């Protein structure tokens, strides 16, 4: 397939994002329609400061954040087989072999990835004692850089990779799906990457193994994404809402040290959103997202019945 050079508002390098007029908004004066538009047609990353977390209890803030996302942005979709629409990003103390353990409920460093939704929304309730910084990279810039330096690997990343079903995706009858890292549909770009599920599929004797070229391509993608010249690093503070379009950004989090007091421990509320102004997707995403048409309700995990 052709791998065209991308020229789009979501092509930004490093700290260029911080100078963008669509990056920071104040909660009190935020124009949510404009934010929704910039997530899809602008930089793909927005920080809204000033959600009044100190005016609410933890449960009230969680519920209020969910309602804000539903009224102003899109349709919240389930984040597990129980149908939960809000996930508390906090260290749960699970052991590494506990099936309930997910990267977001540990304190370890996470790798660059996307989530299974159009837009991911985080509200910071409490921040860690140290660490826990956010890092974001434009997947369009990432695509262009790989195209320039290793066009052979870019072609591999535009082909399907096998993803094993997530351990908490128990409402899904399919044991695996196949989807590309980089793709195009009707002229619209989309990137999607969660290496942990690709590596789990590779380790499963019942699923196809990765080729050496596929492993090299993913290693190179992570190496390029880790270049400080093209990603940004910052720390959400209490009351900050971070919104990311998963089709044009990848994100990760640094390891953190928590406070000793339970009421002070790091916690962010996460909502997965299906967006009414979303782009069409390659048909290969239908198995994992349920729908691929522009504006369709899609993403999340099917609740177990």
Summarize pLDDT for 221-277 with one digit per residue, the tens.
Answer: 999 999 999 999 999 999 999 999 999 999 999 999 999 998 899 999 999 999 999
In a domain, 247, yes or no: yes
Summarize pLDDT for 1-19 with one digit per residue, the tens.
Answer: 678 999 999 999 999 999 9
**Strands in the chain per DSSP E:** 24-26, 45-49, 75-77, 87-89, 119-126, 130-131, 134-138, 160-164, 176-180, 182-185, 188-191, 231-234, 241-245, 249-253, 256-257, 267-274
In a domain, 7, yes or no: no
pLDDT at 101: 58
Output the domain CATH number for residue 35.
3.60.130.10
Give whole-number Cα distances, 245 to 75, 98, 248, 250, 277, in Å: 14, 30, 6, 9, 11
- What sections of the chain are H helices per DSSP? 32-41, 58-72, 139-149, 151-157, 195-203, 212-225, 286-289
In a domain, 36, yes or no: yes
pLDDT at 106: 81
pLDDT at 45: 98
In a domain, 303, yes or no: no
In a domain, 296, yes or no: no
Q: What do you get for the CA distance between the two ends of the chain, in Å?
A: 41
pLDDT at 92: 72
**Domain encompassing residue 231:** 14-289
In a domain, 301, yes or no: no
Q: What's the domain count of the chain?
A: 1
Query: pTM, whole model, 2 decimals?
Result: 0.95
256: β partners: 131
- DSSP string for 146-170: HHHH-HHHHHHHTSEEEEEPPTT-T
pLDDT at 105: 75
Are the C-beta atoms of residues 18 and 47 closer than 8 Å to each other? no
Q: Which residue do the tokens 């985080």 mark? A: 122
In a domain, 302, yes or no: no
User: Which parts of the chain register pLDDT below 70?
Assistant: 1, 93-103, 305
- Tokens encoding 100: 């309930």
């Amino acid at each position: 397939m052709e791998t065209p050079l991308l020229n789009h508002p979501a092509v930004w390098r490093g700290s260029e994002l911080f100078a963008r007029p669509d990056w920071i908004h104040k909660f009190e004066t935020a124009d949510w329609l404009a934010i929704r538009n910039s997530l899809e047609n602008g930089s793909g990353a927005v920080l809204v400061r000033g959600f009044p977390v100190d005016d609410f209890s933890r449960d009230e803030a969680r519920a209020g954040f969910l309602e804000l996302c539903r009224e102003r942005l899109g349709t919240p979709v389930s984040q597990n087989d129980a149908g939960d629409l809000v996930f508390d990003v906090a260290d749960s103390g699970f052991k590494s072999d506990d099936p309930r353990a997910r990267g977001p409920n540990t304190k370890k460093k996470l790798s660059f990835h996307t989530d299974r939704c159009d837009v991911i929304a985080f509200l910071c309730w409490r921040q860690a004692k140290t660490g826990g910084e956010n890092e974001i990279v434009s997947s369009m810039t990432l695509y262009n850089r790989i195209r320039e330096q290793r066009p052979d690997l870019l072609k591999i990343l535009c082909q399907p990779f096998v993803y094993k079903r997530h351990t908490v995706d128990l409402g899904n009858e399919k044991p695996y799906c196949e989807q590309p890292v980089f793709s195009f549909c009707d002229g619209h770009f989309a990137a999607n990457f969660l290496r942990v599920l690709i590596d789990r599929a590779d380790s499963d004797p019942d699923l196809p193994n990765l080729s050496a070229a596929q492993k090299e391509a993913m290693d190179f993608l992570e190496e390029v994404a880790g270049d400080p010249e093209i990603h940004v690093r910052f720390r959400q503070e209490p009351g900050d809402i971070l919104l990311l379009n998963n089709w044009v950004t990848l994100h990760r989090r640094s390891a953190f040290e928590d406070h000793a007091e339970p009421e002070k421990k790091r916690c962010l509320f996460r909502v997965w959103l299906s967006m009414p102004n979303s782009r069409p997707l390659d048909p290969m995403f239908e198995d994992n997202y349920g729908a691929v048409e522009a504006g369709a309700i899609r993403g999340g995990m099917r609740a177990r019945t």
